[in-house]
Structure 1
C-alpha cells in the first residue's frame, strides 16, 4: 500500500509542477504579447508600455483559457484602428507561447 501512496504523491507533485510551469509560460507569453501589441498601438513611453503589459497579463485572470487575453488585445487594436486579423493575432499568440516556453525552460 505504501507503493501506491508514493506513486499517488508523485503524480500529484508532477501535476502541481506541470501546472506551475504552464502558468509561468502563459504569463511570459502574455508579457511578450503585451510588448508586441504595445508597439503596434504606438506606445513608446516606457511607463505606458509597462502599464499596458501589466493590463494584458492581468486580463488572463478573467477566465480559463486564452480568450480573455485575445479579447483584450483584439479590442484594444479595434479601438485604436490597428488592422490585425483574428488569424494573425491568434498565430502571434501561438508563436509567442512557444518562445515563452523556450525562455522558461532555459531559465530553469
Structure 2
C-alpha cells in the first residue's frame, strides 16, 4: 500500500467519523429542542417525550435543520416566539449536544 493510499484511507475514515458525529449531534440537539418546545407548548411527561422523539425520528435521514426549525417555529407560533428565537435555541441545543457527546467519549 502506498503512502497515497494510506492517506486516502485516513481521509475516508475521518469523513465517516465526522458524518457519524454530526448525525448523532443533530439527533441529540433535535431531541433537546423538542423537549424545550414541548415545555413551551405546555406538554409534559409522555406527551413531551413523544413530541421530542417525533422531532428526531420523522424523516430522520432527509430532514434538514431548516425543516426542523420551520416545524418547531410553526408549532410555537401561537406562543409569541419568533423564528429567530427558536433558531437561537436550536443553535444552543446543537452546542450542548456536541458538548455531551464529547463528555461521553471521555
TM-score by length of 1: 0.89
Tell me, in whole angstroms, the C-alpha distance in 2 between the residues paired with 1:59 and 1:103.
Answer: 23
Name which of structure 1's ranges 10-19 and 62-71 shifts more when overlaid on structure 2. Answer: 62-71
- Counterparts in 2 of 1:25 and 1:62: CA distance versus 1, 3 Å: closer
2:59 aligned with 1:43, yes or no? no
2:23 aligned with 1:31, yes or no? no
Aligned residues: 105
Gaps of 5+ in 1: none
- Counterparts in 2 of 1:6 and 1:21: CA distance versus 1, 3 Å: same
Give the structure 1 partner of residue 7 of structure 2: 7
Tell me, in whole angstroms, the C-alpha distance in 1 between the residues paired with 2:24 and 2:31.
Answer: 11
Q: What's the offset of the Cα at 1:92?
A: 0.6
Residue of 79, 82, 85 corresponding to 1:85: 82
Preserved CA contact (<8 Å) 2:70 2:83: no
2:56 aligned with 1:57, yes or no? yes
Preserved CA contact (<8 Å) 1:38 1:52: yes
TM-score by length of 2: 0.90
Instruction: Describe the superposition over 1:17-60 as per-residue Cα deviations: whole angstroms up to 9, x where unpaired.
Output: 0000011111111010001000000002x211111011111246
Name which of structure 1's ranges 57-66 and 24-33 shifts more when overlaid on structure 2. Answer: 57-66
Tell me, in whole angstroms, the C-alpha distance in 2 between the residues paired with 1:64 and 1:3.
Answer: 38
Name which of structure 1's ranges 92-101 and 12-21 shifts more when overlaid on structure 2. Answer: 92-101
